[in-house]
Structures are given as structure tokens and as C-alpha cells.
Amino acid sequence: MRRVSILILLALLVCAGTAARAAGTNSLVWNPATDLVSADLRGEAREVARVGRFERGGDVFARNIVMGAYRPARMELPKWGAAVDFNLFTTSQADRQKFAAKGCDANSLVGDAEFVNPSAGDFRVKATSPALKLGFVNFPMNQFGVQSPRLKAIARTPEITLPTGSGLVAAAAQTNWLGATVRELAGEEYSAFGLAADARGVLVAQAPNASAAFRAGLLAGDFVQRVNGRMVKNLAEFVAILGQNPAGQPFKLDLLRSYQRNTVEIFDADHNR
């Protein structure tokens, strides 16, 4: 198997000055801690056209630590490669399940990666990390990046910014409404929804099947932009608009769902707040 990657991996290791990109089929992406997984095939399209369909390419993405939902570009295929599974998501079940229909992550888990000392650049995981149960293997933190003693002497120490949504930084503002978790987007999350960084709205991060929100038609991943015709700028404004709704009147939510505009009306007067 040719072990080359068709992904641009903006891994946590980029903080130490390393990144990887290659093109081809039968790719193996195994074991990195990855902040952004972008299966963007723009640079791969010509190669795929020549060697055959991507879903038969034998690509594997497994045993990684993933800090957000996958952000595919032009991946309208019934199945992504040979295997996308046994990964640890540090964000939510919604992120893990987002591409289940593509055969992804049936055995993956959600939880804290338990990095040893991320602020100091040590992204090994502790012995209690759930990543180890999935097959993640720690590797030395000093065997990548600048290795030459001459270059090390002049290399600057990077400032490490912990990835948003990983459980390593303060969580975005959130609230519970109708049994659903609603929160603001932060950082690079906007691009995952195809939104500009100045887009306005709030995210339905979780909507359990037993919740009133789910029964009313809301789904995890919905991005609410308007309530009763009023633009929602942030979570505080979302809560304020809900509180101003007249008793017994329904809510009309204008939202984005899987990049498509949608409207959900909630009629249950007992859940106006």
C-alpha cells in the first residue's frame, strides 16, 4: 500500500512546525491529533479521475484525535475510502455522527483526550485517555519539526493556541432550551458550516431524541439565524427574543441545516421559555 495522505492535516503538531500533504490513493492517515481534517479533493481531482473512483481508493483515516466535525469539500460519494473509524472526537456526539451515512466512525468515541501538557506542546495522552482504547499510540514530542542544532538555535518558540471546542479551553456560551443544548460558534467552526466568521446565529449542538426540541423538529447541527423574523446575533439575543414571545404564540425558527435553508415552527405553548 502506498502510505501517502490526500489530506492537508492542520494537526496540533503544526504548532511545532510540521505539516504534511501528498496525493494519491490507498492513503493511510493514522494516529495524529488533528484540529482540522479537510478532505478537500481539489488538488486530488485529476489524479482520482485517472486512477478510479475515490470510494475504491483504499484510503484509511483511523485512530486519530479529532477536534471537530469533518469539513469535506466535493465529497458527494456513498462511502469515503476503505475506512474512517476508531477515532476520538473531543467535541460532541453530533460531530461523530455527522457523516455516519458515509460509513464513518461507527466505533469511534467522544471524550476528553487527556493530553499530558498541551500548553507546553506535549500532546501525548495520559494512561487513562480513551484514545488509547481505540488504538492511538503516543509518540515522542521531540522527533519532528526543526531538528538541525544550527536551526534550533535561531528558531523561535511558537505560541501554542489550544483548539476551540476540544475541552481544553473555555467552552462557548451555551444554554439549554427545550432539552436541547444551544450555543454560539467559535473560531474555525464557522467554516465547517460554510459561514463567514461574522455570521450571526446560534448552533443547536445537541437535540436528544427524547427532548421537546427534537419532537418539534430541531436537529443537532441546526444553525438558527432568525426567530420570528428577528435576526439572532448571539446567544444572549436568542434568549432575549424567546423571553419576549407572547404566551401561547408559536416560535418560527429560520435556520441552516446541512447547508440548506429551513424553517421550524414550535407550537407547544408550555415550552415558550
The answer to whether position 248 is within a domain reads yes
Q: Do residues 99 and 185 both lie within one domain?
A: no
Confidence of residue 272 (pLDDT cuts 50, 70, 90): very low
Q: Is pLDDT above 70 for 24?
A: no
The answer to whether position 148 is within a domain reads no
Q: Do residues 91 and 208 both lie within one domain?
A: no
Q: Do residues 178 and 266 both lie within one domain?
A: yes
Final residue belonging to a domain, choices 133, 159, 190: 133
Q: How many domains does the chain have?
A: 2
Q: Do residues 192 and 251 both lie within one domain?
A: yes
Final residue belonging to a domain, choices 133, 161, 186: 133
Residue 153: the pLDDT is 87
The answer to whether position 15 is within a domain reads yes
The answer to whether position 167 is within a domain reads no
Rg of the chain on CA atoms, in Å: 21
CB 163 within 8 A of CB 181: no
The answer to whether position 144 is within a domain reads no
User: Which structural domain, as residue segments, surrounds residue 93?
Assistant: 8-133
Q: Is pLDDT above 70 for 36?
A: no
Nearest by Cα to 242 from 226, 263, 218, 256: 226
Q: Do residues 32 and 121 both lie within one domain?
A: yes
The answer to whether position 161 is within a domain reads no
Q: Do residues 128 and 178 both lie within one domain?
A: no
Confidence of residue 56 (pLDDT cuts 50, 70, 90): low
Q: Do residues 24 and 112 both lie within one domain?
A: yes
Whole-number Å distance between alpha carbons of 57 and 54: 5
The answer to whether position 147 is within a domain reads no
- From the number of C-beta atoms within 10 Å of its C-beta (0-12, 13-18, 19+), residue 54 rates as buried
Whole-number Å distance between alpha carbons of 24 and 189: 28
CATH number, domain containing residue 229: 2.30.42.10
With vertex at residue 95, the alpha carbon angle to CA 92 and CA 191, rounded to the nearest 5 degrees, is 115
148-173 confidence digits (pLDDT tens): 889 888 888 777 666 554 444 344 57
Final residue belonging to a domain, choices 100, 133, 166: 133
Specify the DSSP element, H or E, that contains 89. strand 88-89
With vertex at residue 96, the alpha carbon angle to CA 252 and CA 254, rounded to the nearest 5 degrees, is 10
Q: What predicted TM-score, i.e. pTM, was given to this entire model?
A: 0.47
Q: Is pLDDT above 80 for 257?
A: yes
The answer to whether position 61 is within a domain reads yes
